[in-house]
């Protein structure tokens, strides 16, 4: 497989001889249509797969200790069931893909308690469903945005809280 050769050549250029010494791999612009098997790299923390042709996302062959994943500029349609084992993920770039079904996407990302930066492009929705998020679209998430996103996505609950706060009955 050509990807294996690319990885091997890249490791040799960097002077890396053992798989356990690999903490990052860049496979940008390799015309990949799927995520290669990277399970042999037990200490892989950062993975660049941007600017490829990946359609179906399956990251089961990636170590669960991955902290950064760059998947922008691909043809990914869904991340459902593909990333939920990456519980240490802190940074995820998904922009410029063909992802549909924001609820499914948020359900997938919800399990990632370490996730701090994500870039799919739906700021209020993401802020509401990922309360741990601190940076989104390269901008800090402000408390005003959190409040607005809560109001937008929990309208009934917000209405009840407002009525209790001002001593009125919710209608």
The pLDDT value given to residue 156: 57
Q: Give the pLDDT band of residue 123 (cuts 50, 70, 90).
A: confident
| Greater model confidence, 121 or 136 | 136
Q: Is the pTM of this model over 0.85?
A: no
What pLDDT shows up at residue 84?
Answer: 83
Question: Which class for 70: exposed (0-12), middle (13-18), buried (19 or more C-beta within 10 A)?
Answer: buried
Inter-residue contact 127 to 135 (CB < 8 Å): no
In this prediction, residue 2 carries a pLDDT of: 75
What is the C-alpha separation between 48 and 50, in angstroms, rounded? Answer: 6
The candidate with the shortest Cα–Cα distance to 3, out of 52, 46, 45, 44, is 52
Q: Are 66 and 92 in contact (CB under 8 A)?
A: no
Q: How far apart, in whole angstroms, are the C-alpha atoms of residue 97 and residue 151?
A: 29
Q: How confident is the model at residue 13 (pLDDT cuts 50, 70, 90)?
A: confident
Q: What is the pLDDT of residue 104?
A: 81
Strands 24-26 and 117-119: unpaired
Question: Per-residue pLDDT tens for 16-61?
Answer: 889 999 999 999 999 999 999 898 999 999 999 999 999 988 877 8
pLDDT surpassing 80 at residue 170: no
Domain ranges of the chain: 2-140, 142-171
pLDDT of residue 33: 93
Q: Which residue has the tokens 């356990």?
A: 20
Specify the pLDDT at position 24.
93
**2-140, what's its fold?**
3.80.10
């Amino acid at each position: 497989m050509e990807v294996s050769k690319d990885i091997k050549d890249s490791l040799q250029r960097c002077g890396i001889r053992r798989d356990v010494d690999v903490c990052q791999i860049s496979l940008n612009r390799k015309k990949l249509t799927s995520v290669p098997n990277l399970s042999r790299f037990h200490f892989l923390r950062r993975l660049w797969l941007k600017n490829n042709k990946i359609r179906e996302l399956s990251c089961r062959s990636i170590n669960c200790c991955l902290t950064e994943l760059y998947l922008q500029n691909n043809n990914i349609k869904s991340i459902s069931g593909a990333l939920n084992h990456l519980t240490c993920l802190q940074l995820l770039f998904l922009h410029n893909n063909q992802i549909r079904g924001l609820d499914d996407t948020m359900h997938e990302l919800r399990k990632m308690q370490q996730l701090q930066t994500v870039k799919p492009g739906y700021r209020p929705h993401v802020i509401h469903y990922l309360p741990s998020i601190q940076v989104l679209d390269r901008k800090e998430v402000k408390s005003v945005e959190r409040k607005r996103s809560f109001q937008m996505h929990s309208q009934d609950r917000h209405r009840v809280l407002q009525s209790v706060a001002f001593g009125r009955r919710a209608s």
